[in-house]
Amino acid sequence: MSYFGKTNIVMVGMPGAGKSTVGVLLAKEMSMNFLDVDVFIQGHEGRRLQDIIDNDGIDVFKHLEDKYLGEISVNSYIISTGGSAIYSTDGINHLKERGVVIYLSINLDTLKERLGDFSTRGVVIKPGQTFLDLYEERCKLYKASADLEIDCNGKTQDEIVEEIRKCLKA
C-alpha cells in the first residue's frame, strides 16, 4: 500500500492529541501495522519515559528519542511518534522519507483537559517553560514537517480516521 509513493503513515502532534488512539484505529481500518514510538523507546530502555526524563534529564531523553527514530525501518505501518519527536530533525526526516506525515492538531483547552497533570506523562518541557509556550513552539514545528494537517477539534476518533482516509485517497 502506498501513499504519495511512501508506505508508512506517520502521526505527529502534541501529547494527548490522539496519535496513538487514532493510529490504532487507522491501522485496523487500513489493514496496516501499528508502531507507537514511545512504547518502542520504553521497550528498548526497559523503563518509562518519565523515569528517563526524571533520572537522566531531557537531553538524554532527546538523544535516545533521536537514536530510536533513526532506527525505525518498517513498511506498511502507522507510526505514532511521541510529542517531542518533532525536536529530532534527523529522526523526523528519516520517517518522512518513508511515510506521509500527518499532524493531528488540537486546541490548547482540549489538550489541557485531556492531559490533566502532564508532569507524569513524560512530556519534554524545559524548566520554566509554560505549557502555552511549549504548545506554540511545537505547533509551528508540526506544521512545518507535516504533509497533511487534520483539525481534530470537536471530532470523534472515527471521524478523524475517516478524514485521514479521504485525504490519503485524494
Q: What's the pLDDT score for residue 81? A: 96
- Specify the pLDDT at position 152: 94
Question: At the top level of CATH, which class does the domain 8-169 belong to?
Answer: alpha beta
Three-class secondary structure of residue 101 per DSSP? strand
Position 127 scores a pLDDT of 77
Residues sharing a CB contact under 8 Å with residue 60, sequence separation 6 or more, in sequence order: 52
Mean pLDDT per 10-residue segment, the chain (170 residues):
70 92 95 95 94 91 94 95 92 94 93 69 73 91 96 93 88
Tell me 164's DSSP state: H
Instruction: For residue 118, give the 3-state DSSP assignment.
Output: helix
pLDDT digits (tens, 9 = 90+) for 54-73: 899 889 999 999 999 999 99
DSSP state of 85: G
- Domain segments of the chain as ranges: 8-169
Q: In whole angstroms, what is the distance from residue 50 CA to residue 94 CA?
A: 25
DSSP tag of 72: -
Residue 167 burial (CB count, 10 A)? 15
Alpha-helical segments (H) within 7-99: 19-30, 37-45, 49-56, 58-71, 89-98
pLDDT the model gives residue 1: 43
What's the pLDDT at 125?
Answer: 75
Per-residue pLDDT, 14: 92
Q: Which residues pair with 12 in a beta bridge?
A: 103
